[in-house]
Structure 1
Amino acid sequence: MKYFLTLFHFLILVSFATIAADEPENRSIGSNSSYPVEDSISPDFYSDWNVNELEEFAVSSNPLYLREKQNIGMARGDVITASLYYNPILNMQQQFMGARVNSGTGLPETSVIYNQPFDVSGVIPQREKVAKQEFMATIAGFNDFDRLFRLRLRQNYWTYLYVTEQIHYQKEFLENYQDLLDLTKLRAEKGDISFLEYDRLTLERIQIDREYRNARILREQVVKNLRVLIGIADANVPLKVKGRLKFISTKEFGIDLQDFNVENRPDLVALKIRQQRERMNIELKRREAIPALTFGIEYLNKGTEHVTGVYASTPLALFDRKQGEILKYEESHKKFAFEVEAKRNEIITEISASIKELQARESQLLEYKQFNLLDKNKEVQEKSRLAYIRGASNLVTFLEAEKNYLNVLRSYYEITYLYYNALEAFRASVGKMDASDL
């Protein structure tokens, strides 16, 4: 019996040493600890990133992000085009076919005509105002894309940390099960227990090993999403981020759940600007109904005749007075009014739902923090392990304690992950995804 206990203590010590070696030295959020995609990955330039560093690099290197940013430059070009004045027209004419010097009216004729259209109704300034409105709407649209881009990046970041936590505690649980399996086999060989217990534990270990491997596969998929969002094309470049899925309250983050303005959401801002643009388009089409006035100067040389003249011309707006386009933009302006109101209601509902979810997750985690859930869970597990080692507990009780330990960890990290998802959803719903907005 003494030999058996000595051997068992040796197995337990080896297990603890293995677990301690695999644990990072400092596992607090914001520390230099990291969770590599593969345990053997060496440090690299693209490694040990927190969420802010990931965002900073992504917005400067992601081709999809940079592509959307180019829309602002294109809209700036439209503003320049709309502000340009009418070009002058120069017409030079030479008539010579069939002309004779002594043929009177058939003399060669040379004429030069210069025309300059003038904007008498203020079309160009109004067109420039419309283009500037579209430029501002493009900026607001890009800000909305930036909001959703950062939301997706952060969601993948928290998913990475969540899956990493799963891998850590499942690995620990798997190693504990392996130690228990070795001990059970030893007891079965000595005749203390039936081999049926050993077979049952073997089947359970296979299930745990499957969950552990699935978690590692899921982390690889999250890493793939992060690579796409960050803009790292080379799959051979290692990618790992730092941080731990540790609960930090909204008060510690400095986030006030009541400090927001629905009207500042970028997508709503873009709709309101486009509504104003349509109103300006109505005025633009009314001004375009008044045609430009063209002044001209003509010089004519025919034989000994030299004639210079001045004239003016303008189309008569009898039939086409932009009636159809004016009606079109009036209806479009009304349509945008409905869209703005619908979007405002949608945002209010979205913010309300995100606040309720965030408060529910946070209150639950605050209770866990007050109860010191993780430490107590670990303490119960250790006591159950020692009781089983000393023979004061049976195998079934020990297994139940191990499973409860695993379930508590799974539940805690899942709620923490959902809390951070709700936190990011709230920040996205109020349009404050950029750290500078807080």
Structure 2
Amino acid sequence: MKRILLSAGLVLLYPAVYAQVAASPPAPPQPLTLQQAVDYARLHSPGLLGAQAHLSAIQANEITAGLRLNPNLVAEGTQMSLSNNDPNGPPFYGVGLQRTFEVGGKRSLRIAAAKANTGVASAQVDDQKRGLDLAVKQAFTGMLQAKLALTIANDNLADYHKTVDLMKVRLDAGDVDRTDFERVELQLAGFENDQTNAQLNLTQASEQLQVLLGEPSVLSTFDISGSLDLPALGSTVEQLENAALAARPDLVAAQRQVNANEAAIHLADAMGKTDPQFGVEYEHSGTANTLGANLQIPLRIFDRNQGEKERTRREADSSRLLLQQARNQVISDVDQSYAAYQAAVQQNARYQQKYLAEAAHVRDNIQFAYRNGNATLLDYLSALQDYRQTNLAALNAQANAQNALHQLSYATATEVNP
């Protein structure tokens, strides 16, 4: 019964919080693709949700900006005496209503300035979302790389176990002595360490990705699916530059900041204008009842909001220069990311088209020769080491190319992966 009452109290006192807790999302579907991971992070990342909540708070300033000035109620009473005979005459009572009238379109300019600031904050949230997308993509690629590295480590360990088993058979048959067998068996430590480290890397990569997805606790069953194969990039660097100039949210934020500062200039000019105050009043004294009116016009002789006018104009000049800097940075980011992608693609192609096959060919030949007594242990171990290093280098090249593609998407604020 107490639990029922507590739940009811939560609904009544904190309906928004209770609704959010009650609608907590289930664990992500298994396994996640790259696009599913990005979409899931956008919906559940606490950092992005916090930024969106802050945007709502900034947008609430538009309500404040649109409020009209409140009127003033004024009441007074004089010459009130406790005696029946007051030599000063009958008591006097008065009540009045006063209101300041804004001129120069101050209210509409305040609303415009508040909306401009909301636009800047909105673009900044979009830029934070862009950063989250990149982080998720890189973590996703890192986990894929760790999974493939673990597969390579398992395959290498299993394959070397076959060599150890074969050498054990030769040892039992008297073809090799125990020292040679132990030298072969000692190499298992390296392969076992590779497997342990690959498993650790996979666990850490999985946890890193889950944190970005907004998971409150690490799921041991979490998994992803995808490939490190690179698609063909069909856009030129000029097309990517134009796409970035049209879509980059940080550039949009810089442009909106210019608009916001220009709106602040208009508001500062309007705030330098005089707002008259008009009032009406009712007065009662003895048997007389009268009505009156008053008008107050402040004389803006000294303070005409000169300081704020100058400040807003300086801020506008600054934001225009920062906009040009942001535009230049966008072009530079795209050019550098495109160059890095091209270099990564070339490096990956070398391994995929040549060195992987050569390393496997050398290993297989030396392995066959060694198992049949036609190669030395040093040659065999050297071939294995070359094969392991080449496979890991090829995997790193693939992952680097994928991350370069993600970086290019980040630089252009578009999905360049066709």
TM-score tier (shorter)? 0.7 to 0.9
Separation in 1, partners of 2:183, 2:365: 24
How far is 1:139 from its partner?
Answer: 0.7
How far is 1:415 from its partner?
Answer: 0.7
How far is 1:101 from its partner?
Answer: 5.5
Separation in 1, partners of 2:363, 2:219: 40
Question: Is the 2:241–2:331 Cα contact (8 Å) retained in structure 1?
Answer: no
Matched, 1:160 2:143: yes
State the Cα deviation string for residues 393-417 of structure 1 (Å, max 9, x = none): 5544443443333233212211110
Question: Is the 2:79–2:88 Cα contact (8 Å) retained in structure 1?
Answer: no
> Which of 313, 316, 341 is matched with 1:333 structurally?
316
Q: What secondary structure is seen at the aligned counterpart in 1 of 2:60?
A: helix
Separation in 1, partners of 2:178, 2:120: 73
Separation in 2, partners of 1:434, 1:83: 42
Matched AA of 2:393: S
Residues 101 and 308 of structure 1: CA distance in aligned 2, closer, same or farther (over 3 Å): farther
* Structure 1 counterpart of 2:193: 210
How far is 1:148 from its partner?
Answer: 0.3
* Structure 2 counterpart of 1:413: 395
* Structure 2 counterpart of 1:24: none
* Structure 2 counterpart of 1:40: none
Q: Point out the more displaced range, 97-106 or 300-309.
A: 97-106
Matched AA of 2:126: N
Matched, 1:426 2:389: no
> Alignment RMSD, CA only?
2.7
Q: What secondary structure is seen at the aligned counterpart in 2 of 1:242?
A: coil
Separation in 1, partners of 2:415, 2:332: 18
Question: Is the 2:408–2:416 Cα contact (8 Å) retained in structure 1?
Answer: no
How far is 1:63 from its partner?
Answer: 1.8
* Structure 2 counterpart of 1:403: 385
State the Cα deviation string for residues 127-153 of structure 1 (Å, max 9, x = none): 111111101101100000000011001
* Structure 1 counterpart of 2:19: none
Separation in 1, partners of 2:281, 2:83: 24
Separation in 2, partners of 1:348, 1:236: 41
Separation in 1, partners of 2:251, 2:223: 36
Residues 257 and 279 of structure 1: CA distance in aligned 2, closer, same or farther (over 3 Å): closer
Question: Is the 1:153–1:226 Cα contact (8 Å) retained in structure 2?
Answer: yes
> Which of 31, 52, 62 is matched with 2:35 structurally?
52
Q: Point out the more displaced range, 297-306 or 95-104.
A: 95-104
Separation in 2, partners of 1:408, 1:288: 70
- Within 5 A, what are the aligned runs for 1:353-392? 353-366=336-349, 371=353, 374=356, 378=360, 381-389=363-371
Q: What secondary structure is seen at the aligned counterpart in 1 of 2:381?
A: helix
Residues 373 and 259 of structure 1: CA distance in aligned 2, closer, same or farther (over 3 Å): farther
How far is 1:388 from its partner?
Answer: 4.5
Q: List alignment gaps of at least 5 residues for structure 2.
A: 1-26
Percent of residue pairs identical: 23
Q: List alignment gaps of at least 5 residues for structure 1.
A: 1-43
The size of the alignment, in residue pairs, is 390
Question: Is the 2:240–2:412 Cα contact (8 Å) retained in structure 1?
Answer: no
Q: Point out the more displaced range, 234-243 or 408-417.
A: 234-243
Separation in 2, partners of 1:152, 1:328: 38
Q: Point out the more displaced range, 175-184 or 225-234.
A: 175-184
Matched, 1:220 2:186: no
